[in-house]
Amino acid sequence: MVIRVQTRDNEPVEKALRRLRKLCNNEGVTRTSKSKSYFEKPSERRRREQRERKKAIRLSMRAKRQDVAKLLQRRRKARKNARAAQRAEANSAAGVTPENAAPDAVTETPVAATPAPETATS
């Protein structure tokens, strides 16, 4: 594996070194060189790799949960907007303007009152 950093015109050496270090970290060269600097027993290597696998699974599950939460949030928002549009359409059909409409109030339709039966008083 060869990592190259080309310097630009009038670029300071420190900046090019910083880019090189960042590339090495991203490619895992630094981590590999540190892990190879001492002997690691095979049992320790297996345990470390198992830990890394579990961590990768845990991180992917967290990302999946976050994706599901975002999806549910988008669905809730879409339903809320659809209900608001239906309410606005119903209000416009009934001739209710937004100024005189109570927010989230249930509008009642008047029921025809039936006259009470008259009783004979003597």
- 6, part of any domain: yes
Residues 57 and 86 in one domain: yes
- In this structure, the dihedral spanned by the alpha carbons of residues 18, 22, 23 and 29, taken in order and rounded to 10 degrees, is 110
CB 96, CB 107: distance < 8 Å: yes
**Whole-number mean pLDDT of the chain?**
83
CB 30, CB 24: distance < 8 Å: yes
- 89, part of any domain: yes
- 73, part of any domain: yes
pTM: 0.43
- 107, part of any domain: no
CB 20, CB 3: distance < 8 Å: yes
Two tokens at 50?
A: 């198992």
Number of independent structural domains in the chain: 2
**pLDDT per position as a tens digit, 66-119:** 999 999 999 999 999 999 999 888 888 877 665 655 555 555 555 555 666 666
- 43, part of any domain: no
Residues 30 and 63 in one domain: no
Residue-number span of the structural domain to which 58 is assigned: 50-95
